[in-house]
Amino acid sequence: MGRTAIISVDGHVKASRAGYRQYLEQKYLEQYDESVKEAEDAGVPDAGNLNPEFGFDAQWDSERRLESLEGQGVVAEVLFPNGQPFQVNRLEDAGRAMDAELAAAGRRAYNRWLVDFCAEAPGRRAGQAVVSFDDIDEAIADISWAKERDLGGIMMPPLNPGGTFFFDPALDPIWAAIQDVGLPISQHGGAGLPAYSPPGFASIITISVENAFFSSRSLWQLIAGGVFDRFPDLKVSFIETQVFFLTAAIAHMDQTLAGTDDWMAFARSLKRERTVSRPASEYIATNCYIGVSPFDPRQIPIDQLVGKDADQRPLPGFHIGADAAMFGVDYPHFESIFPGTMDKVATLTRDPSVTEQDARKILFDNAARLYGFDRAVLQPHIDRIGFELEDLLVPSLA
């Protein structure tokens, strides 16, 4: 079937501190310079979540990044932030700032920089615009702005305390705008996590346990609120949201919506109109994609991911399936599978539950379809850096 390559649906980028300066409005420069000086005086690195072995410039040096990822068979990336101006916690992807005005200024600067960064590798980067849902009209304008500048999608904002729940019809104009421009919206793992304090071992372990819940909660809110029923062409992806929890939650929701759960009886007792027309799992098939990142069978066994056994027989229960799953490298985060990406590809390809067609969907086809990558544009790069799946079927003797 020819050579293929990887579209990593989980990459992280930011400008250097000096690089962001030209993308900020004049009125914020003095305050920004003060914040940079404070960070540098305190010895805070110019990085978000970053494996230090990759080097700081892995976040913003376009040519170096392309060279590194091409060596891993990665032909294109979906990009999320790794830090924004005025961000308080440098390890957050969608960073919180001291106040709403500075947060908005930081988002605008990041998005402007992202447009230019994606343009340095035409057709190979799908940057996800950072948008807030706090102001409906502003969100709609930002969505149109992102589309007009060829960004590849919208990043789902975190649901922080006091925010509007995703099942609230007040957000319908935003879902309508995203559907109308034809962009996907992507939930990235960790969005909405509490700012645990004091930092340290206990907070990290707490995050490791609770991350799956906060990362996936937008999915069942969208389903429960009937958002996909009202906006059937809306496409949502869930990237690095810990698949083991997401699949269990959807299976539980299927059971609840079937009417066999006490919660459903309680909902009926309120005599409110039901907002969901189908089982929760059906919305995965029609509206959702799941990015397994960093890709590793320890996150979910591959047969459970594709929902088939070695004889290609369907496994019982709900499974994401090869038509919805995507592959993430998570470069240059500390937990990235770089530089062992091809080992993970080989593990996927050699699993007896996975056909060659399944592997191609997970590695390339699903992401290309969702994020609008043009195969014709990528083909010369695939010819140059791609690989034959059949070459991975037999373990190397080296």
In a domain, 321, yes or no: yes
Half-sphere exposure of 319 (CA within 13 A, CB side): 18
Kindly give, in sequence order, each residue whose CB lies less than 8 Å from that of residue 111, ignoring residues fewer than 6 positions away. Answer: 129, 130, 142, 145, 146, 151
Nearest by Cα to 350 from 302, 285, 385: 302
Q: How confident is the model at residue 12 (pLDDT cuts 50, 70, 90)?
A: very high
Question: What's the Cα-to-Cα distance from 4 to each of 66, 108, 353, 388, rounded to whole Å?
Answer: 17, 36, 20, 6
In a domain, 98, yes or no: yes
CATH of residue 126's domain is 3.20.20.140
Q: How confident is the model at residue 58 (pLDDT cuts 50, 70, 90)?
A: very high
In a domain, 398, yes or no: no
In a domain, 397, yes or no: no
SS3 16: coil
Position 398 pLDDT exceeds 80: no
In a domain, 82, yes or no: yes
Q: How confident is the model at residue 207 (pLDDT cuts 50, 70, 90)?
A: confident
Question: Residue 349 sits in which domain range?
Answer: 6-392
In a domain, 207, yes or no: yes
Q: What is the pLDDT of residue 264?
A: 58
Domain count, the chain: 1
Mean pLDDT over residues 357-364, rounded?
98
**pTM listed for this prediction:** 0.94
Position 160 pLDDT exceeds 60: yes
Position 268 pLDDT exceeds 70: no
Q: Tell the residue number behind the tokens 């539950």, with chain if given.
A: 353
Question: What's the Cα-to-Cα distance from 13 to each of 46, 49, 127, 248, 304, rounded to whole Å?
Answer: 12, 10, 9, 31, 31
- Taking the C-alpha atoms of residue 119 and residue 236, their distance in angstroms, rounded to an integer, is 24
In a domain, 1, yes or no: no
